[in-house]
């Protein structure tokens, strides 16, 4: 399977979670669409492209369990959330309840718009280690007040790589009459996703990560009852369209003038590729590798897991606490001297009495081998012996 990927074979690539990696058959499909666009740009953009896009939406909707008219393609989750957050009618004093494990770009987006109106972005502390769903749910709802208007939560976190019990949070939020907005950037084809079962009001997921499409391929789902609340981020031909379709939501957010939709059109090919190559087994094997490696590397670094090591909280990624005197130097050392690509991060989480917690995050995809984990372990030992970078 490693030969399917275009990754540099000189690099131990343990960072699939950041931007994914696209297999050759899907990348060739991507280039096929780009060539068709260039051969007849006008026909592609005005006639064929919308039809192809509809087929790609239908394929994705069938996979994620929703109506094809309730999702649109966007280049990344940041774009999706800017569409949503910019249009929310927040008032001074309103609160958005979230966790202290969210993706930094989303924290910045919420803070930007909240400051404009005097709303408050409440990052409820979820303590680690995370040992049970009950622990999470109890801690999360401690942040609820009479001013809470919106729940914003990651289904799989970026800095800590933890799976959160989002279904239970959405169910409780619905009982309370709160809007739920879910960041599922890491979810599609990583863990099970069915939007009709999850019942989130708004959901976004990246497809260029674990679904293996080319970069710049994500989706935004909004339930029908809320779609009229969201104007397009870019006003273009779909706004007050001359020839409106059956869906203002699709017109507003899908027809953005001249842009390359080729990455979106690869979704049917990506789904076929994953089915043909028995990806259910691939994911199981990757989870097993992550869980075994997590404990081994924690022992090596004399630290502890930040969750119960099980399928309940871990998918194909794990974040391991470290102690380093320089996170940027450690990352560059791993890459420049040992040819290992993986993220080294710092968060404001409090773990074992440390307010600024540092992590390395390991991702396992089909091309990841046990031997590559050993390469990482040997590099970490070597760094421990040679320098003061690792405590």
Mean pLDDT calculated for residue range 107-130: 96
CATH classification at residue 311: 3.90.1150.10
Instruction: Check whether residue 207 and residue 288 sit in a common domain.
Output: no
CA distance 337 to 73: 39
Q: Is residue 391 in a domain?
A: no
pLDDT at 83: 97
Bridge pairing between strands 218-222 and 202-206: antiparallel
Instruction: Check whether residue 263 and residue 307 sit in a common domain.
Output: no
pLDDT greater than 80 at residue 194: yes
Which of these three, 216, 242, 273, is where a domain ends?
Answer: 273
pTM, full prediction: 0.96
Q: Is residue 261 in a domain?
A: yes
CA distance 171 to 166: 9
pLDDT at 342: 95
Instruction: Check whether residue 215 and residue 346 sit in a common domain.
Output: no
Tokens 């050759």 correspond to what residue?
24
Bridge pairing between strands 317-322 and 357-363: antiparallel
CATH classification at residue 187: 3.40.640.10
What Å distances lie between residue 89 and 150, 171, 309, CA to CA? 11, 23, 40
Domains held by the chain: number: 2
345-381 residue pLDDT tens: 988 665 555 667 899 999 999 999 999 999 999 999 9
CA distance 306 to 176: 30
pLDDT greater than 80 at residue 247: yes
Q: Which domain covers residue 18, as residue numbers?
A: 2-23+278-385
Instruction: Check whether residue 205 and residue 314 sit in a common domain.
Output: no
225-244 residue pLDDT tens: 999 999 999 999 999 999 99
Which of these three, 273, 308, 325, is where a domain ends?
Answer: 273
Which of these three, 212, 242, 273, is where a domain ends?
Answer: 273
HSE on the CB side for 164, CA within 13 Å? 30
Q: With the CA atoms of 61, 67, 72 and 77 taken in that order, what torsion angle do they form, in degrees rounded to the nearest 10?
A: -70
Q: Is residue 131 in a domain?
A: yes
Q: Which long-range contacts (CB under 8 A, 24 or more apart) does 245-248 make?
A: 246/69, 247/69
- Name the nearest CA neighbour of 366 among 278, 296, 272, 266: 278
Instruction: Check whether residue 181 and residue 303 sit in a common domain.
Output: no
Q: Is residue 390 in a domain?
A: no
Q: Which residues contact 146 (CB under 8 A, 6 or more apart)?
A: none
Instruction: Check whether residue 299 and residue 162 sit in a common domain.
Output: no
Beta-bridge partner residues of 150? 96, 179
pLDDT at 174: 97
- CB of 107 closer than 8 Å to CB of 78: no
Instruction: Check whether residue 201 and residue 86 sit in a common domain.
Output: yes
By residue count, the chain amounts to 391
Q: How much is the mean pLDDT over the chain?
A: 95
**How many CB atoms sit inside 10 A of residue 353's CB?**
5
Q: Which residues contact 339 (CB under 8 A, 6 or more apart)?
A: 10, 11, 12
Tokens 């990052």 correspond to what residue?
123
Q: ∠ CA(112), CA(260), CA(209), 5° rounding? A: 65
Instruction: Check whether residue 232 and residue 353 sit in a common domain.
Output: no
Instruction: Check whether residue 171 and residue 295 sit in a common domain.
Output: no
């Amino acid at each position: 399977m490693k030969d399917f990927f275009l990754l540099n074979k000189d690099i131990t690539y343990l960072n699939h979670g950041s931007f994914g990696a696209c297999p050759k058959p899907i990348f060739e499909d991507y280039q096929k669409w780009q060539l068709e666009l260039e051969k007849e740009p006008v026909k592609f953009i005005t006639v064929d492209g919308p039809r192809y896009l509809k087929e790609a939406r239908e394929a994705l909707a069938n996979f994620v369990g929703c109506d094809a008219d309730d999702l649109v393609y966007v280049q990344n989750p940041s774009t999706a959330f800017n569409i949503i957050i910019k249009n929310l009618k927040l008032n001074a004093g309103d609160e958005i309840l979230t966790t202290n494990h969210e993706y930094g770009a989303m924290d910045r987006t919420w803070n930007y718009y909240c400051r404009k109106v005097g709303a408050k972005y409440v990052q409820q502390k979820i303590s680690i280690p995370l040992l049970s769903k009950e622990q999470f749910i109890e801690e999360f709802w401690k942040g609820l007040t009479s001013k809470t208007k919106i729940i914003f939560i990651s289904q799989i976190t970026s800095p800590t790589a933890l799976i959160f019990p989002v279904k239970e949070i959405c169910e409780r939020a619905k009982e309370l009459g709160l809007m739920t907005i879910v960041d599922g950037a890491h979810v599609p084809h990583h863990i099970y996703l069915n939007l009709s079962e999850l019942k989130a009001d708004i959901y976004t997921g990246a497809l260029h990560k674990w679904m293996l499409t080319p970069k710049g391929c994500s989706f935004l789902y909004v339930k029908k009852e809320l779609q009229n609340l969201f104007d397009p981020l870019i006003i273009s031909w779909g706004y007050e369209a001359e020839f409106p379709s059956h869906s203002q939501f699709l017109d507003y957010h899908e027809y953005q003038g001249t842009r390359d939709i080729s990455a979106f059109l690869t979704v049917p090919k990506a789904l076929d590729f994953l089915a043909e190559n028995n990806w259910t087994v691939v994911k199981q094997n990757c989870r097993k590798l992550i869980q075994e490696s997590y404990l081994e590397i924690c022992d090596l670094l004399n630290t502890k897991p930040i969750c119960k090591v099980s399928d309940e909280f871990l998918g194909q990624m794990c974040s391991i606490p470290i102690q380093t005197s320089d996170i940027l130097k450690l990352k560059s050392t791993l890459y420049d001297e040992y040819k290992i690509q993986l993220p080294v991060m710092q968060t404001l989480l409090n773990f074992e009495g440390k307010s600024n917690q540092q992590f390395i995050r390991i991702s396992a995809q089909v091309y990841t081998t046990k031997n590559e984990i050993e390469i990482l372990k040997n590099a970490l030992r070597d760094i421990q012996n040679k320098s003061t970078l690792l405590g």
